[in-house]
Amino acid sequence: MKKSNRKVLIAILVLLSSVGFLIYRGLAETSVYYLTVGELKTSPLGLQLGADQAVRVGGLVVDGSIDYNQRDLTLRFSIKDENNPQQTINVHYNGAKPDAFEPEIEALLEGIYDREKNLFRAETLLVKCPSKYESEQENPQEADK
Amino acid sequence: MISFGTYSLIAALFFTLLSMGLFLSGLARNNVRLVQAGKRGLLSAAIATTLASVALAWLFLTDNFSVEYVASYSDRALPLFYKITAFWAGQKGSLLFWAWVLSVFIALVIFNNRREADDRNTPYIYLVLAGTLAFFLFLLCAISSPFETLGFMPRDGQGLNPMLQNPGMVFHPPILFFGYIGFTIPFAYAVAAMITGNTGADWIRKTRVWNVLPWIFLSIGIILGGQWAYVELGWGGYWAWDPVENASFIPWLVSTAFIHTAIIQERRGVMKVWNMVLIQLTFLLCIFGTYLVRSGILQSVHDFGATGLGGYFLVFMIVALIGGIYLLAESYNEFKTPGSVESYLSRESTFLFNNVILLALAFATLLGTVFPIISEAVTGNKLTVGQPFFNQVNTPLFLLLVLLTGICPLIGWRKASVSNLRRNFLRPALTALLAGVIMAISGIRELYPLLAFTLSAFVGATIVQEYITAIRSRKKLTGEASAAAAVKLLWKMRRRYGGHIVHFGLAIMVIGIAASSAYKLESQGTLRQGESLSIGKYELKYEKFRKYDKFNRTIYAAQLGVFVDGKRIDEMEAERRYYINAKQPTTEVALRSTLIEDLYVTMPGIGRGNEITLKVAVNPLLIWVWLGSTLMVIGGILAIIPARRKAACSE
């Protein structure tokens, strides 16, 4: 192998290993578990989460639980497990209520769960746009396929 | 009209399959006339899909809600304009749109090559294109037809989601699709070349152009998507590393890599194998993106939900992947070229590094996007990553890419001498240093923004230096005035300067991204009429409230006076809109954009006594993101305007 080729090859290897390191560190530092409400409350993984460990949780917004203070922009509500609706947690979110937010919609939260108070402090709140594209309730024949 | 649409689709599928048969038998018998007939079959398929598309548009325009797709995405009150865009609002219509555009693109390829005699590659190129078209037409005919009827005529449709009732809807989805679909063409060229082993100068030239064209569309589509998110969704940003956004960004990165190494193949005849890999990867990633959007396997703000099509796309992708790998292995010996880099101080080697970084960015983004799926498959638990991951990993890589963008034009091909380098680097390096020092003095101390500004200044300076030097030597040669020389140079060597303009735009965009993400100001508050809220140098005063009806919506609007130092310089209007047929109100962003900063206001709530809640942000230099990315597109267009026969416009 020519000398210049070797130098280029070494530089590329150095670059690739730094990329590998960057990705590894990125995953180690920023990845969070994604659990359902039921898993967060009862699964072994959910139970062993640290008290200040961020976690992502998804569930359906409980009808009648929404309490939005528009003046302070605080939003309180409960979410329930999609398959196991008895399992619920209370959520506290500081921020504006998203336009699409409504009962029975699927909400995706990231934040910290306080097991003793059954309270989830959400840093981020995403709702799945219900009507943006085909929604399953409206087109059951779609969902069946 | 409904059955007309259905039959048009069936006819299109028939013509496509017929032409595939003609190409195959043309190949088997080595018969040129069969290949010609196959092309005519593809043109007929293009006409048939056009008719099917006209039929669907017609059903929307005539409010024919007995069609399930029309009923799901339109209603009587929808403005005419959006009745047409509702065509691609859902999964089925967008699939038809895809097939239609692909068939038109194929017709364009045929038209573009009409004067040239067919070579050995021709039948294979059209065979691949026809095969891809047949796949989409099959899905449309057999699995997911937009012409499916409900069996009765509802009184009204369900309407179009208010978020899709935005001018962004007119251009963003179709143009993004043009990009995705366009990459089918270089893919077909690559497959044909791998089968025949024929990659002449003509092949790489055409493949490059057919790659830059979809690259331009994909770029425009991504920019428009960002702008739409910024002005419509109201969360204050333009890019969230959402899976669907990533799905468009990943093939963009890979095709960008190919655009660079294609130049090396063109000039030196090397890197053929690698380029084949990049072309195929781009196409596969486009299909993969489509799969992500339509399979419902990832959580995203704009996926189509589970559509039942995911499996088909997966199969198509796997077939293309295995076929591609097989062909690559078969043709490897033919395309293999000897070790090519003569010096690590050469433009070739900067291109290699550029490729490594672009692919690393693509890989990291892909990995982050599918990480929930991988981690669940491996450990049984779903681990997800979000914006912090992408920002943490991609920012340093991106900065390195900007650095290379600056270095590359300063280094000659093959081997650069040290004295040469010193002369070329001096001024850009000093400019960058000066920019860095000024930034540091004016209070910018964070590493990444500081680096972003410094490196962008470096890139800008190298390009300006190169341009000025070239203008001077042209003046000497031709005796033209400076302005004339500058313009003529730009036009005569548009491929080179197109590239420079893309890079200049990149530098401007990087400045905009760095400033707007690192120095954003945010505030929120609830105001009664007459009260005000301050942010940065601005004070927003809530002056008036009004309510009125317009088209299919009721609008609640708050008029805000914008004050700076006690002087009223402007006014803005924040809105909430209540659409007929929509359950929730939507927030309209009020935006005051200047070269220096954007004032961005949303009104998440209206309370008793018309008390309003405002969220306000100041985004510094945000418009630079749009300016820079627009320049990138302009540069790309300039670079592929074909040369007249005589003018030697490539470098």
Q: Which residue of A has its CA nearest to B304?
A: A133
Q: Which residue of A has its CA nearest to B164?
A: A132
Domain co-membership, A15 together with A67? no
The answer as to whether B209 is a domain residue is yes
The answer as to whether B330 is a domain residue is yes
Question: In sequence order, what are the residues at sequence separation of 6 or more whose Cβ sits closer than 8 angstroms to the Cβ of residue B419?
Answer: none
Which value, in Å, is the radius of gyration of the alpha carbons in chain A? 21
The answer as to whether B423 is a domain residue is yes
Q: Do A71 and B615 touch (CB under 8 A)?
A: no
Domain co-membership, B503 together with B546? no
| Structural domains in chain A (count) | 2
| Structural domains in chain B (count) | 4
Q: Do A73 and B158 touch (CB under 8 A)?
A: no
The answer as to whether B151 is a domain residue is yes
Domain co-membership, B127 together with B109? yes
Q: Confirm or reject contact between A19 and chain B (CB < 8 A).
A: yes
The per-residue pLDDT for B316 is: 92
Give how far A117 is from chain B: nearest CA, Å.
Answer: 25
Is the CB of residue B408 less than 8 Å from the CB of residue B459?
Answer: no
Strands B597-606 and A32-36: unpaired
The answer as to whether A94 is a domain residue is yes
Instruction: Give which of B219, B218, B207, B191 is closest to B261, Cα–Cα.
Output: B207
Domain co-membership, B246 together with B324? yes
Domain co-membership, B22 together with B39? yes
3-state SS class at A131: coil
Written as six digits, the tokens of A122 are 């959400």
The answer as to whether B113 is a domain residue is yes
> Which residue range(s) make up the domain with A43?
33-127
Strands B553-564 and B567-579: antiparallel
Mean pLDDT, consecutive 10-residue stretches, chain B (651 aa), reads 93 97 93 92 97 96 93 90 90 93 96 84 94 96 91 87 81 92 96 88 88 96 92 85 91 96 86 91 92 71 65 90 92 75 74 93 95 88 89 95 91 75 87 92 90 95 93 90 90 92 97 94 91 94 92 89 94 89 80 95 87 93 96 95 56 36
Domain co-membership, A79 together with A104? yes
The answer as to whether A145 is a domain residue is no
Domain co-membership, B169 together with B140? no
Residue type, B146: P
Q: Do A70 and B582 touch (CB under 8 A)?
A: no
3-state SS class at B420: helix
Domain co-membership, B455 together with B477? yes
The per-residue pLDDT for B202 is: 83
Domain co-membership, A20 together with A88? no
pLDDT digits (tens, 9 = 90+) for A81-112: 988 889 999 999 998 888 778 888 888 899 99
ipTM summary value: 0.84
The per-residue pLDDT for B61 is: 94
Domain co-membership, A26 together with A59? no
The answer as to whether B442 is a domain residue is yes
| For range A44-73, the mean pLDDT | 88
Domain co-membership, B36 together with B90? yes
pLDDT digits (tens, 9 = 90+) for B2-36: 899 999 999 999 999 999 999 999 999 988 899 99
Q: Which residue of B has its CA nearest to A43?
A: B381
Give the domain-ending residue among B459, B488, B518.
Answer: B518
Domain co-membership, B145 together with B215? no
Output the domain CATH number for residue A60. 2.40.50.140
The per-residue pLDDT for B303 is: 54
Q: Do A138 and B72 touch (CB under 8 A)?
A: yes
The answer as to whether B185 is a domain residue is yes
Is the CB of residue A61 less than 8 Å from the CB of residue A109?
Answer: no
pLDDT digits (tens, 9 = 90+) for B388-397: 999 999 999 9
Domain co-membership, B552 together with B448? no
Contact residues on chain B for A47, CB-CB shorter than 8 A: none
Domain co-membership, B134 together with B30? yes
Candidates A3, A10, A31: best to mutate against B (most CBs of B within 10 A) is A31
Q: Which residue of B has its CA nearest to A100?
A: B584
Domain co-membership, B139 together with B191? no
Q: Do B302 and A132 touch (CB under 8 A)?
A: yes
Domain co-membership, A115 together with A51? yes
Instruction: Give which of B258, B265, B260 is closest to B200, Cα–Cα.
Output: B265
| For range A22-49, the mean pLDDT | 90
The per-residue pLDDT for B620 is: 95
Strand partners, B372: none
Q: Do A96 and B604 touch (CB under 8 A)?
A: yes
State how far the Cα of B404 lies from the Cα of B390, in Å rounded to an integer: 21
Give the domain-ending residue among B301, B334, B350.
Answer: B350
Instruction: Give which of B256, B242, B71 is closest to B152, Cα–Cα.
Output: B71
Q: Confirm or reject contact between A137 and chain B (CB < 8 A).
A: no
| For range A18-45, the mean pLDDT | 91
Domain co-membership, B544 together with B611? yes
CB neighbour class for B484 (10 Å; exposed up to 12, middle 13-18, buried from 19): middle
> Which residue range(s) make up the domain with B610?
521-624
Domain co-membership, A45 together with A82? yes
The interface residues of chain A toward chain B in range 34-53, judged by CB-CB distance below 8 A, are 34-35, 45
Q: What is the mean pLDDT of chain A?
A: 82
Residue owning tokens 């965009």:
B509
Contact residues on chain A for B585, CB-CB shorter than 8 A: 99
Q: Do B307 and A7 touch (CB under 8 A)?
A: no
Domain co-membership, A14 together with A71? no
Our CA angle for B131, B335, B201, nearest 5°, is 80
